[in-house]
Chains A and B, each alone.
Chain A
Amino acid sequence: MNLEDYHGVWVFIEEQEGTIAPVSLELLGAGRRLADKRGVELAGVIIGNQVKPLASTVFEYGADVVYVYDQTIFKDYRTESYMKALLHCCETYKPEIILFGATSTGKDLASAVATDLPTGLTADTTELDVEEDTGLLLASRPAFGGNIMATILCKKYRPQMATVRPKVMKALEAETGRTGKLVEEKIDIKEEDIRTKVLDIVKATTKKVRIDEADIIVSGGKGLGSEEGFQLIHRLAETLGGAVGASRDVVEAGWIEHHHQVGQTGVTVTPKIYFAIGISGAIQHLVGMKNSSMIIAINKDPEAPIFEACHYGIVGDAFEIIPLLIEQFSQALEKEEVNHVGEV
């Protein structure tokens, strides 16, 4: 393998029903930085059915080139068909780096493609950098349940591949009207050759709180004592107009569903305000919330590790503090309303 033959940074653009996954836009931002440092092009790869129009968005978020595979066979995501398209694109244009969102689809596709190429794949990356002259990708990730961070290199194989956690990279501000080179590709695959069929796609029926998109999150931990006690968390969240988060122990106790879990094996969140109430602050929880703009911790144990990770800490009993917060906040809001009315 001649490493010199490989050029450019790629981002796999994940799409569902005509919408680009936010993580793909974040990766375009990260990819732009890497590409500029290397002095190479940044490309987006879109695979799907009727996806060509998405190219303009990909350019606006920083790509110089977009490769599109727009064919009916790509209507549903299936590992085998998408993998073939991406392998075809890699063989034709030889990128030096490819980034994927660490989502169900991104991880599935990246693992399959890396095996076939074959090359190295770094999982769940949270930090990315590149050596300017050698082009070596420095991909860092948590491992051992978040107890350590590791920098993973792939020295002798190309492309260098990584899946990257949603919400840890920043998307660029979209530059309206920015365009680039659109490359349309096609591959020949027959439906009979694909061994899986998507029979149905079922959207979660319960109106799922997207805690990864919330501005305010009130998270509760085992310290709330019971499912009943945990209701206080729901009430505070409701008062503040925020979403409910939870530690893993709460999810395992069955007080709330898994999609509320914040952390290493849950969701990574970046709200403007994060409340951690009755949560000890285990490393696996911290990795999921440490990028919140303001972290407020309430815990009755002054030694709890969460206090090392917060901006404001209150040592005290949740059962005493939450009702006070709810009451005072409602009052404060009412006052504001009166003021607003007064101004008119």
Chain B
Amino acid sequence: MSKFKKKKSGDMPAVNTASLPDIVFMLLFFFMVATVMRQNTLKIENNLPFADQVEKLDKKDLVMYIYAGKPSANYVQYGKEARIQLNDDFASVRDVAAFVAAERASKREELIPFLTTALKVDSDANMGLIGDIKQELRKVNALKINYTTKKGSVLGRD
């Protein structure tokens, strides 16, 4: 009889968690490979619109980013209208020309004609702001632009 009793007594064996680090490492490596470090801290909402006729921006070092959108929750003191963000701070339309000049100065001279301006604009922004930016870009002769969008259907998501 005592034989059977012996089996029942004793604690539950501990669950073996030895494979947990492996799983987490797998996730970690996925994120390390699939993502890039944040370049700019966004102070605006940046919910890009959808489009399906997109082309890939392949030369990353030849792209300058202009962000625009409504100030995000932490920056409500800057109002509710869509604003431009260049590098890490809010900017006005007048600063675009200086920004382009600075970006150009940081690149090699022969690469300057290939610079593309990527407009990362929140989908709820007004076209007035974009029109102003485009006008500024025309003034400084930065004519290649790219409306950065997420890949997806236009019609289904409105």
Q: Do A and B come from one complex?
A: no
List residues of B whose CB falls within 8 A of some A CB: none
